[in-house]
Amino acid sequence: MPLPLRGLSAIVTGAGRGLGRAEALELARLGAAVVVNDYGRPGRDGSGAASAGPAEEAAAEIRAAGGAALAHTGDVSDFEQARDLVESAVAAYGRLDILVNNAGILRDRMVFSMTEEEWDSVLRVHLKGHFNTTRFAAAHWRERSKRAGRPVFGRIVNTSSEAFLAGSAGQPNYAAAKGGIVGLTTSTALALARYGVTANAICPRARTRMTEDVFAGVERPAEGGLDPLAPEHVAPLVGYLASPAAAHVNGQLLVVHGGMVAVVERPRVAAVFDSKQDTFTYDELDAALGPYYADRPAGETFAAAEVLGLRRG
């Protein structure tokens, strides 16, 4: 089979289990040398002792299949450990070509009960973790491009969520972090395009320990049957976005699960109201906006998610 990622190197964060592991295996299958990053804490809330086991096991699986991989157990939410992750990839493989940000934790609670630590920890791992690795990968690509005097090859694939698209009542921290990741992605896409680098985000729907509550009522297929929620169904899109073939795909948000990929449009203006004066008065706003929202079904502002038939993931 053709190997579109042959000769390229990749980092996948949160790659010791679930979705990240499937993505790391897919990139290796397509020919990339992979740095498998995972902090290794057993709890999906980030609790427990850090362990090298998950990252080392995933890297060993890649090597056993004939690929190149090394394990990295740093915490991507730590600025200096994220720097070390990127530098380790460059030291091992001569350069970095692909960055897949997937690491995350959950600390679910309603907004009126959430603690400061629960908020901060989720934003730190998801949003700051995405920024930290992106920051050092971007600097690497910019330096290479300036040295070469031309664009270089670089790919970033970030992980957002349908919790950002449609809301998630018990996950204000997670939904906010995933929305922030979309903003980070589009900003990065604009900043790095001149250097030959693309940045895209996916909203995956997959059965992992992070989503075990979401899909608790969805039965697994009979033995030998196709599970549309298997993480392996998300990985091919990541492989494609990481490849040379996706050079024209930049700053995009895609929902993926099973055999479906949906391209999400950027928000569009639904209605415009103009004041008859220099500025709006309270009464004028009430006269314009009151009937507009009163005539719309509840929740219609989330039309993009409804059209796709999407739910929290």
Q: Which is nearest to 124 in space by CA: 182, 177, 64, 190?
A: 177
Cα atoms in the Cβ-side hemisphere of radius 13 Å centred on 291: 5
Sign of CA dihedral 185, 187, 193, 197: negative
Catalytic residue among 145, 174, 195, 243: 174
Residue type, 84: D
Task: Let me know if 174 is a catalytic residue.
Answer: yes
Task: Let me know if 276 is a catalytic residue.
Answer: no
Residues 6+ away with beta carbon under 8 Å from 201 = 157, 158, 159, 160, 181, 182, 185, 252, 253, 254
Catalytic residue among 88, 93, 128, 178: 178
Distance CA 161, CA 66 (A): 33
Q: Tell me if 237 sits within 8 A of 146, measured CB to CB.
A: no
Cα-flanking dihedrals φ and ψ of residue 266, to 5°? -70, 155
For residue 59, the SS3 value is helix
Residue type, 97: D
Distance CA 97, CA 277 (A): 55
Distance CA 122, CA 128 (A): 9
Residue type, 72: H
Residue type, 100: V
Cα-to-chain-centroid distance, residue 289: 35
Q: Which is nearest to 129 in space by CA: 298, 15, 18?
A: 15
Task: Let me know if 93 is a catalytic residue.
Answer: no
Catalytic residue among 121, 160, 161, 168: 161
Q: Tell me if 258 sits within 8 A of 233, measured CB to CB.
A: yes
Q: Which residues are catalytic?
A: 161, 174, 178
